[in-house]
Structure 1
Amino acid sequence: MAGGLLGAAAFSTMTFAAEEPRLVPAALQDVAAGSGPQTAVFAGGCFWGTQGVFQHVDGVISATAGYAGGSAGTASYGLVETGSTGHAEAVQVVFDPRKVSYGQLMRIFFSVAHDPTQVDRQGADVGRQYRSAIFPMNDEQAKSASDYIGQLDQSKVFKTKMATTVETGKTFYKAEAYHQNFMEANPTQPYIALTERPKVGNLQRFFPQFYRDQAVLVAD
């Protein structure tokens, strides 16, 4: 993470070409609610911030930081951070579709959780492990995600083409305990305070109907 490498003063002076957070249009094609909880997996840069955003979404039952895109044998922080394992830092979101749908989670993901136009990076975090990706759990999610990316590209919501990939058939692996609930546990850490915590403020601003003040935390 950039936050582990840079002090607050140094980080605050760095600039990166990034799209501003914005409320993107809703997905035209959503996933049926069905019965019982559903699972989604998203990757958009450092998982501290992505997890922190989804932990404040009403209807989310759990949001767990981890790795997706590579094998079980390389699903550890030390190896993933080399950028050579195929993994992305990801978040597994278990949600109640009666309260928040898959399409609505994608809308939050694209609006406030990250910049979906950056290729293999998010700001100061550079490498394949920081790519923008969705890891569908089934064919319906895969189609909904692909259709939504196409919809947003066609509507030219962003200045440049979206970089988000849809990667099917990938397993999610839970990250080490010290990565869980990192935003909530470290609110004044420079990287969190300057880069990640503002995303929760944007969630509250753009999606007041889905925002909850109390984060749902990963249990020890």
Structure 2
Amino acid sequence: MHGPASPGWLLVALCATTGAYCLLRMRSRVEEQRRTAGGEALMGFGMAAMAVPAAALAPPRWAWVAYAAVFGAAALRALWAARSSAHHLHHLVGAFAMVYMAAVMASGAHAGVPALTGVLLAYFTAYVLWTGTRLVPVAVAGPGPGPVPGLGPRPGSGSGGGFRAAGWGDRLELARACRLSMGIGMLAMLLTL
């Protein structure tokens, strides 16, 4: 992208770390989570590769065309998957944004279509704010220590039982933090376009 080197390397690190965590999330026992994590891993690593500062590595034109093809295929897959889950619509918008940015870079232009860039910036700004609010802890009034109806004892309550804590790869708040990181990364990439 066209941005300065230091923030570019920070963006590469953020996106690559997010992609690596998404790869680990693919070990989930829940099939839908595995599929979603796979798409998010592709997005994270693709964003990391595209965010490498041009001063360090200026990819040839064919590399940008390859990015556009890969993310075009990812957009088609997300469109197909959107039949069963609304979350895949977000993946569709993200893949489209990656195709758009790759096409702009392949053309050699230093700016995309201002209206389209603005729409994508507005979407990802709203997505980052919405996802961020979902990470804010909410105080829940409920029963104190003791068994959780239908699940058995509370974690750390000392009495054995049928409650099994989710693995760290299946924790919803970590998946949301991952999505928030990628949304912020997408905003940064669109701003440098």
TM-score using structure 1 length: 0.25
Bigger relative contact order, structure 1 or 2 (CA pairs below 8 A, ≥6 apart): 1
User: When you count strand as a share of all residues, which structure comes out higher?
Assistant: 1
User: When you count helix as a share of all residues, which structure comes out higher?
Assistant: 2
